[in-house]
A = this chain, B = another copy of it.
Amino acid sequence: MAPETQDSAARVDGRTPDQLRPVTITRGWLDHAEGSVLVEFGKTRVLCAASFTAGVPRWRKGSGQGWVTAEYAMLPRATNTRSDRESVKGRIGGRTHEISRLVGRSLRAVIDTKALGENTIVLDCDVLQADGGTRTAAITGAYVALADAIENARSQGLVAANAQPLSGSVAAVSVGIVGGRPLLDLCYEEDVTAGTDMNVVMTGDGRYVEVQGTAEGEAFDRALLDGLLDLAAVGCTELTELQRAALAAGT
Mark A residues whose CB is within 8 Å of B: 30-33, 36, 43, 47, 49, 51, 53, 71, 73, 75-82, 85-98, 100-101, 105, 109, 122, 124, 126, 128-129, 131, 168, 198, 202-203, 206-215, 218-222, 225, 229
Contact = CB atoms under 8 A, between A and B. Distances in A.
Contact of A213 (B33, B90, B128, B210): B210
9 tightest Cβ-Cβ pairs between the two chains A and B: A94-B97, A207-B219, A86-B87, A49-B77, A87-B87, A51-B82, A211-B213, A203-B219, A33-B77
Number of identical protomers: 6
Contacts of A36: 77
Given A51-B77, A97-B98, A101-B94, A124 B82 contact: yes
A43 B91 CA distance: 31
A77 B124 contact: yes
A75 B94 contact: no
Contacts of A53: 81-82
Contacts of A89: 87
